Amino acid sequence: MFRRKETQYDQHVKKKRFRSAQIIPLGFLGAIIVGTVLLMLPFSTAPGYTTDFLTALFTATTSVCVTGLVVVDTYIHWSLFGKIVILLLIQLGGLGIIAVFSLLMLLFRKKISLRQTVIIHDSFNLNSMNGLLQFLIKVFIGTFLVEGAGAVLYMFVFIPRFGILKGIWYSIFTAISAFCNAGLDILGPDSLISYQTSKSLLLITMLLIILGGLGYIVWFDIISGIKRGLKSQAGFSYIYKRFSEHTRLVLFLTMFLILAGAGMVFILEYNNPDTIGCLSLPDKIFNSLFQSVTFRTAGFASVPQQSLRDSTCVGGALFMFIGGSPIGTAGGVKTVTFFVVIANTLAYIGARDETVIFKRRLSEELIKKASAITAVSFMITFFMLILLCATNNVSLTDGMFEIVSATATVGLSRALTPLLNPVGKWIIIICMYLGRIGPISMALFFSNTWSSKNSINFSKGNFYVG
């Protein structure tokens, strides 16, 4: 056993990591507190309704954490001002507190320091700090363009039904909520169930959810690939092969999970009269696809979630746990993270020395990170499920669905959220917060990153597993 001397660079990196690990969770917490205060103002609540502290805190948390679970009906409980506050919190939470703060600094021509650059880098969980500010600007431009396009498409559905002003307002709110994978809506008490035969609305919503869940890195890689393909007049195969391995993996996993989830819902719910059983075959297919997409982090519902069969709920919980893809607005442990754990397991079973995807080796650090995220997320989910069942009279299926939905920031519920007692609501609040910042971020927040644990190499121990 020997001690490696720690350099000044090591200390600098640890110091920056420590600050990022603290500032990012505190940033989200600060936004939740401000949102709670604003929602407790008398004019945030619609006439005839009152808002207590826990309701305001729960709503602010579900908005900032882009989850979608609610204890009161958003469309009727909140005034116009309250709904605007909720929408701003959703946008803030979807883009990230640090990213929005950085954009404001750029707009006011303030210089971004090295420390702030490191925090932006960590908030997006990027691998490199090269071109970080340009990346940030493209994120905002891309986000507003997609949300704007989504709002315009929604107007063709909502304006004929609600009139011009309400139709525009509902379109903007729904587009932002869908893209940020929040799942909050102001259309009525039953989410999108009354629109389950509107293929255009379901398709627009699915596209927004998927685009938000793909991740910005994938966006920009696809756009660059298409530009190169158009210049060289190449076909789709040429363009696809020049996407990065990350982009190709995300596209493959996204398509696979959507189709697998839709197939599961279609088969298990085909004869269920309370969900898709009474719909036509095309509507069954569309609603199965929609349920599959929304399972993975959106929170909108086109069928009553409490009417889903238990087998569908258990399968759906796995899709919720996986979530969307990295560096986007989606929740869950992320598609690539989960796949890395599976790939590493298969590599071990196959007696391979390395874990390889698309002829590219996965680094040991990446495998450790993916394993840690998956393990900690599972432990948090399992522990919170025990707490919820111990403090509330809920079935295991309903409790599991609620907890996984909260920790993965999905927002689907089997009509359980408003029925929880105050302890249960606090449990869900904590789950949503941990799910948004990531359990690993919270662990780093409380860890002693100033220690020199990596300065010591220990001799190999003899342990047995399996």
Q: Determine whether 43 is exposed, middle or buried from the number of CB atoms within 10 Å of its CB (0-12, 13-18, 19+).
A: exposed
Output the CA angle 169-173-175, nearest 5 degrees.
115
Q: Determine whether 2 is exposed, middle or buried from the number of CB atoms within 10 Å of its CB (0-12, 13-18, 19+).
A: exposed
Is position 457 within any domain?
no
Q: Determine whether 85 is exposed, middle or buried from the number of CB atoms within 10 Å of its CB (0-12, 13-18, 19+).
A: buried
**Structural domain harbouring 445:** 14-449
Query: What does the alpha-carbon distance between residue 220 and residue 112 come to, in Å, rounded to a whole number?
Result: 23
Beta-bridge partners for 357: 360
Is position 42 within any domain?
yes
φ, ψ (nearest 5 deg) of residue 338: -65, -40
Q: Estimate to the nearest angstrom the gap between the alpha carbon of 168 and the chain centroid.
A: 26
- Count up the domains in the chain and report the number: 1
Whole-number CA gyration radius for the chain:
23
Is position 432 within any domain?
yes
Is position 46 within any domain?
yes
Is position 466 within any domain?
no
Output the CA angle 402-201-153, nearest 5 degrees.
125
How far apart, in Å, are the Cα atoms of 220 and each of 128, 139, 226, 251, 327? Answer: 15, 9, 10, 13, 12
Q: Per residue of the chain (466 residues), what is the pLDDT tens digit? A: 444 444 444 444 444 444 556 677 888 889 999 999 999 999 999 999 999 999 999 999 999 998 989 999 999 999 999 999 999 999 988 887 666 666 666 665 566 565 556 556 555 555 555 666 777 788 888 899 999 999 999 999 999 999 999 999 999 999 999 999 888 999 988 889 999 999 999 999 999 999 988 888 888 888 888 888 777 777 777 777 788 888 999 999 999 999 999 999 999 999 999 999 999 999 999 999 999 999 988 889 999 999 999 999 999 999 999 998 887 777 888 999 999 999 999 998 988 888 888 888 888 888 888 898 899 899 999 999 999 999 999 999 999 999 999 999 999 999 999 999 999 999 999 999 998 887 556 555 555 444 555 566 677 776 777 6
Is position 459 within any domain?
no
Is position 410 within any domain?
yes
Residue 100 CB coordination number (10 Å) = 18
**Three-class SS of residue 173?**
helix
Query: What does the alpha-carbon distance between residue 466 and residue 459 come to, in Å, rounded to a whole number?
Result: 22
* Residue 245, amino acid: E
Name every residue whose Cβ is closer than 8 Å to that of residue 447 and which is 6 or more positions away in sequence: 21
Query: What does the alpha-carbon distance between residue 432 and residue 64 come to, in Å, rounded to a whole number?
Result: 9
**Residue 344: both structure tokens together:** 């590493």
Is position 179 within any domain?
yes
